[in-house]
Amino acid sequence: MFTNFLKIAWRNLINNKLFSVINIIGIMVGFSFSLLIGLIIYYESTFEYFHKDKDLIYRVVSETKSPTETFFYSGATLALKDAIINNSNFEQVGSIFMSQPNNVTVKKTEKTFNTPKYVVFAEQDYFKIFNYTFLAGNAINPLENESHVVLTEKSAKRYFPDLALNEIIGETLTYDSLEVTITGIVEDLPKRTDLVFQEFISWPTILKSRNRKLVEEKNWNLTTSDFQLFVKLTPNADLEDIQKLFDRLTRENRNNLVIENSITNSIRLQPLLDMHFNELYQIHNWQDKRANKSLLKNFGLIALFLLLLGCANFINLTTAQATQRAKEIGILKILGCSKQQLITQFMAETFLLVLVSAVISVALMDTLLIVFADFVPEGLTIDFLFHPEILICIFILIVCITLLSGFYPAFVLSKYKPVKILKNNFLVGNKKAIPRKILTVIQFGIAQVFIIGALLVNSQINFMLTKDMGFNKETTVSVYQPLIARNLNNLKSLASKIKEVEAVETLTMCFNPPASNNVFFSDFTRKTDSADITKQMRFLFGDINYLNAFDIDLIAGRERKHDTVKEVVINETALKTLGFNKPEDAINEKVILYPDTIKIVGVMKDFHQNSLHNPIEPLVLRGDWYNAKFSQFQMISMKVKPLSGGRISEVINEIENRYKEVYPNTEMKLEFMNETVKDFYGREQKISKLLKWASGLSILISCLGLLGLVIYTTNMRVKEIGIRKVVGASVLEIYMLLCKEFIILVGIAFIVASPIAYYLVNQWLNLFTYKVSLSISNFLIGGLIMILFSFVVMSITTLKRANSNPVNSLNFD
């Protein structure tokens, strides 16, 4: 029976080509989006699933809460391990410490590889927590002694492409100055993991590195995300007990600084399976894209709305076509077809249509993965589409869409009374068109919200990108000093060489450019007659050319005299925070920056230190006071003359050549300030892109639906049009007659959608401290876009009909 239903359904699909195409496109768009988001969610949420003991493995993470801010660290204090290793809740405890070597040299070939990624110092137990497969070498204790290293197969092949894995064992690598022997080679972990490390240097070797002091000191009050502790719990471990232990340890080991500043440190266990999704804590491949729940949620919502639009199209067009199906329904009922059988027939038709849409969506998925590459995780390929879980989801989705779009029309159509149909007494009256009108309004309303949303989000992004940050971001470029060669003399040497580049106007040595994600805080105390005012301030470290290089204006006082003179320049917000009334009042005032007493010599204009999400903070510009011991300067920022496209790469080459003279074995890391600012808004730009797609596709689906409805109603009114023309109606009058009803619906949709769009965008804008004001013009433009598209779509059909010879219309009847 069902095959028979499908056969008839296929014929209906072919016989009503236009309506079938409209319906298929509508459903296919929503289906494709849903499938894409489904694939992304599946991919992201199955990270680390391959580990045998995944439910018993945790990462130890930390939280530091000050009265003003909370910081989350994906690492823990180095002191923790010794305190927990003998606790019966833990089966294994294994540490790693991120190493960022500048280069690695293969002794055998004398070949040097720059900035190897994912190198860590690792403890022996790390390999017991995670089940790595040893392909060669010592699988029992490869990391027990100092100066040993275990490589993944991929790394081993990179360094020794011509050797068999067994031959690589015993070879020597030199990370910067650390010489290590290869004692083991492990299989690479499958792709869906954040444990991306490829080279594991034995833990004892860390004592030969620059991190020695940190490791030996084991400071309870110092947490770094570079040190990560993984634990495997015993099957009966008590999580509450463990948390109590952590709380006790942090409480007992607080130092005075922590107590005096009302800082609360806490340590927690983070389940391995939570690692990929929890944005509070960093993952190791920080350079790669990471799952972003809110973006996925937005993506999912858009997919849902597009699906609903497609379903609405189907419902609208199917119920509008009811009169054409009426005869068939009447005859089938007279012949004894039950309501259930009719519903099954219509559901089979819907199922087939959804199935065709689904097949097209699946076929398009490869292209969609490319088009939406910004949102798609790197390892997600078309192969995931054929995972059994995904195939089941596709089937469930097909069934859900079939029910969602097919049930109402099936119910309405199967309800018709055969006698009315036989008497030709069957007309879709105004009353019956009400659900269709409501659906059309909802459809256009959704499209309208997307359009207005896209316009407003875009204007906020433009506002953020073009807003004056308070410093020169357009012509400033920064060059980082390599970490391993961090040395003030080298930096000075580089600075003097870069000065020779003709396009460079001025340069400064500093720790950070004016706006960045790096933050350095400290307390700052102003002593007044009545009381001490102590406030937390942000600090920028820069030489005396800093203000000049970034075109930051001084509004009172002067620039500092020398990098090592203990003078500072504060910004306007700091001025207010410290209780000064006028900029001049602050000049030559003494303040305490423990342990020094220093002098404020200037007040600079406020500028934005981060994205416009955040307010301007009190800020202090200071020099490099202790450069004899350790320099705070790590980069050179320079103002360059405005350059044309080709000239820019020439200048970069010139700078790079000079860089290579100072740091011959390292790659230059260069940042354009305007790119840095742009990067602050990566997520917003993704939302904007998503909304543009959503707007375009919702316009497409809605307009296709409108086209279908207009064609249908125009055909239904052919006789009326003929008669009206015979009695003297003009083309314009006929055109308006046919369009009026739909334009009113689009107008209502605009009125309904505007406050919703206003509310949603306003909610989003609340995330920003600095935001664009919501202008009515954006709403009007959104409305006009929709009306314009509607007119174009309606004109395609109605003008042809309005222009036709009346006799054709009358004959048609």
Taking contact as CB under 8 A, which single stretch among the options 140-148, 322-330, 372-380, 682-690 is the one that binds another protein?
322-330
Residue 665 engages another protein in binding (rule: CB under 8 A): no
Smallest separation, CB 344 to another protein (Å): 12
Residue 726 engages another protein in binding (rule: CB under 8 A): no
Number of residues that bind another protein (CB under 8 A): 23
Residue 689 engages another protein in binding (rule: CB under 8 A): no
Which residue of 295, 337, 643, 743 would you call a contact of another protein, by CB under 8 A? 337
Residue 332 engages another protein in binding (rule: CB under 8 A): yes
Which residue of 26, 94, 330, 722 would you call a contact of another protein, by CB under 8 A? 330
Binding mask 224-263 for another protein (x = CB under 8 A): ----------------------------------------
Residue 12 engages another protein in binding (rule: CB under 8 A): yes
C-alpha to C-alpha distances, 249 to 227, 260, 264, 412, 772, nearest whole angstrom: 18, 18, 12, 68, 48
Taking contact as CB under 8 A, which single stretch among the options 9-17, 156-164, 375-383, 609-617 is the one that binds another protein?
9-17
Non-local (6+) Cβ contacts of 133 within 8 A are: 186, 187
Helices 434-466 and 731-765: crossing angle, nearest 10°?
Answer: 50
- Whichever of 305 and 346 has its CB closer to another protein, that residue is 346
Which residue of 328, 551, 585, 589 would you call a contact of another protein, by CB under 8 A? 328
- DSSP-derived 3-state class of residue 579: coil
Which residue of 18, 331, 767, 788 would you call a contact of another protein, by CB under 8 A? 331
For 88-148, where are the alpha helices, taking DSSP H only? 126-129
Helices 776-803 and 718-726: crossing angle, nearest 10°?
Answer: 80
Q: How far apart are CA 263 and CA 259, in angstroms?
A: 6
Residue 207 engages another protein in binding (rule: CB under 8 A): no
Q: How far apart are CA 646 and CA 668, in angstroms?
A: 20
Which residue of 334, 382, 519, 732 would you call a contact of another protein, by CB under 8 A? 334
- Whichever of 338 and 487 has its CB closer to another protein, that residue is 338
- Whichever of 356 and 765 has its CB closer to another protein, that residue is 356
Q: How many other CB atoms are there within 10 angstroms of residue 514's CB atom?
A: 29
Residue 321 engages another protein in binding (rule: CB under 8 A): no
Residue 218 engages another protein in binding (rule: CB under 8 A): no
Taking contact as CB under 8 A, which single stretch among the options 127-135, 327-335, 611-619, 656-664 is the one that binds another protein?
327-335
Taking contact as CB under 8 A, which single stretch among the options 5-13, 164-172, 621-629, 670-678 is the one that binds another protein?
5-13
Residues numbered 397 to 456 that lie near another protein (CB under 8 A) are: 418-419, 422-423
C-alpha to C-alpha distances, 250 to 83, 245, 624, 640, nearest whole angstrom: 11, 9, 34, 50
Smallest separation, CB 704 to another protein (Å): 24
Place of tokens 């999400």: 613
Residues numbered 83 to 142 that lie near another protein (CB under 8 A) are: none
Residue 53 engages another protein in binding (rule: CB under 8 A): no
- Tell me phi and psi for residue 219, to 5 degrees: -80, 120
627: exposed, middle or buried (Cβ count in 10 Å: 0-12, 13-18, 19+): middle
- Whichever of 328 and 667 has its CB closer to another protein, that residue is 328
Residue 370 engages another protein in binding (rule: CB under 8 A): no
Confirm if 81 and 102 have CB atoms less than 8 A apart.
no
Smallest separation, CB 341 to another protein (Å): 7
Taking contact as CB under 8 A, which single stretch among the options 333-341, 430-438, 510-518, 621-629 is the one that binds another protein?
333-341
Q: Which helix (H) or strand (E) holds 555?
A: strand 554-557
Question: What tokens does 444 get?
Answer: 């256009």
User: Phi-psi bin for 411: left (phi > 0), alpha (psi -120 to 50), beta?
Assistant: alpha
Which residue of 81, 276, 284, 333 would you call a contact of another protein, by CB under 8 A? 333
Which residue of 4, 462, 649, 769 would you call a contact of another protein, by CB under 8 A? 4
Smallest separation, CB 437 to another protein (Å): 22
Residue 11 engages another protein in binding (rule: CB under 8 A): yes
- Whichever of 336 and 646 has its CB closer to another protein, that residue is 336
Residue 715 engages another protein in binding (rule: CB under 8 A): no
Smallest separation, CB 25 to another protein (Å): 23
- Tell me phi and psi for residue 326, to 5 degrees: -60, -45
- Whichever of 418 and 722 has its CB closer to another protein, that residue is 418
Residue 338 engages another protein in binding (rule: CB under 8 A): yes
Q: Which of 766, 756, 512 is nearest to 621 (CA)?
A: 512
Residue 336 engages another protein in binding (rule: CB under 8 A): yes
Taking contact as CB under 8 A, which single stretch among the options 6-14, 401-409, 608-616, 773-781 is the one that binds another protein?
6-14
Helices 17-45 and 339-371: crossing angle, nearest 10°?
Answer: 60
Residue 351 engages another protein in binding (rule: CB under 8 A): no
SS (H, E, C) 584-634: HHHCCCEEEECCEEEEEEEEECCCCCCCCCCCCCCEEEECCCCCCCCCCCC
- DSSP-derived 3-state class of residue 66: coil
Non-local (6+) Cβ contacts of 764 within 8 A are: 457
Non-local (6+) Cβ contacts of 219 within 8 A are: 77, 78, 79
Q: How far apart are CA 501 and CA 290, in angstroms?
A: 39
- Whichever of 164 and 335 has its CB closer to another protein, that residue is 335
Question: What tokens does 267 get?
Answer: 């340590």
- By CB under 8 A, name the binding residues for another protein: 1, 4, 8, 11-12, 15, 327-328, 330-339, 341, 418-419, 422-423
